[in-house]
Structure 1
């Protein structure tokens, strides 16, 4: 595995990409010597949340691509420029932006829809038999897109979310934060990360690192 595409959903766990998960993902790739490019949809966020108050700011609007650019240090491209044939795998960190901006899973659960540009990318990597890694709530995107294939996924121990994922046809497997679940048949790797609100960085990084290593093995 030489190069991976990373999709971000904004910046900030309540309305975009989970920043710690995103940085740890890039670190795990770097440790394995894997080059990466970062992408995000050029769309408006569902809403903007004040991360201190924990409440939406009705007066504010933000762009997903521009916000994700904060994490990418400006080195980011619109998801419409993501060509699967240029990469060996795909990785999606979590954060509520996945469930609010990249899909409507936060509001509709198993009846939610995935943003069209994201579906196109997921299907392109799946068709190419290239591994896809999903962190935290991101496995919901895989469930909504590939549920009819009955893939095995994890979001950790969160029973309510697991139940919604299984309604799509996907199979949920309980998993600890410091581990990952590998579906070798469908080349999907998932890890819980901050689906456990009380998780520590060490365990989250261990889970993400195992996920990256598993993607490397699947790409051989």
Structure 2
């Protein structure tokens, strides 16, 4: 059975949208596994920007029918708190643990979780799960490297942070939540690619 996976993008470009390398890695691994990726997004000209990454049609997040997909993947960008997930999909950059999330995205995450559909997030995007899924387990890399901005705050939000290297992914079986740190680590692109590959592979197993 062909798996349909929604890929949620937040614009295009380092420090101001979804990281191109992360998005490309997600789409390559989905393609290799025979899954269908459907990038969607919201706000400013993010739809146009996301289309540059997707190389095809994109749709407004408000129009996404979660029941049509077996899983959802949200690439991120970086720990630097002024961009993509931290600015375009939430106001994490300003409010940190007290942030709010784009309503349509918050509903999507809740709906997927309630339906038992896998959710995968990499780089900074796991903060979305920390906000919406209390008590979940996730990784944003080694806590000794990112205690101030992310790992420590994840713990303050009542979630469990799990230390993982860039080439690994954490699987929170209970919540069907898959996370990998990607460019939260200062690592070569091929290692980021490998970590995302594991995340995608494990996601599709439970989709």
TM-score normalised per structure 2: 0.92
- Pairing partner for 1:79 from 53, 61, 64: 61
Distance 1:77 1:64 in 2: 11
User: Counterpart in 2 of 1:55?
Assistant: none
Instruction: Return the offset for 1:218.
Output: 2.1
RMSD: 1.1
Instruction: Return the offset for 1:166.
Output: 1.4
Residues 48-81 of structure 1: CA deviation (Å, up to 9, x unaligned): xxxxxxxxxxxxxxx2222111111241100011
Give the match's secondary structure for 2:141.
coil
Which residues of 2 match residues 107-126 of structure 1 at below 5 A? 107-126=94-113
Asked if 1:170 corresponds to 2:170, the answer is: no
Instruction: Return the offset for 1:85.
Output: 0.7
When the two structures are aligned, how many residues end up with a matched partner? Answer: 197
User: Counterpart in 2 of 1:137?
Assistant: 124
CA contact (8 A) 2:3 2:204 kept: no
Distance 2:206 2:158 in 1: 23
Larger Rg: 1
Which is worse superposed, 72-81 or 32-41?
72-81
TM-score normalised per structure 1: 0.87
User: Counterpart in 2 of 1:7?
Assistant: 8
- Pairing partner for 1:105 from 92, 98, 106: 92
- Pairing partner for 2:73 from 69, 83, 91: 91
Distance 1:67 1:167 in 2: 34
CA contact (8 A) 2:23 2:75 kept: yes
- Pairing partner for 1:187 from 176, 189, 198: 176
Give the match's secondary structure for 1:125.
helix
Which residues of 2 match residues 192-211 of structure 1 at below 5 A? 192-196=181-185, 198-211=186-199
Task: Give ranges in structure 1 of 5+ residues lacking alignment.
Answer: 45-62
Task: Give ranges in structure 2 of 5+ residues lacking alignment.
Answer: 78-82
CA contact (8 A) 1:184 1:218 kept: no
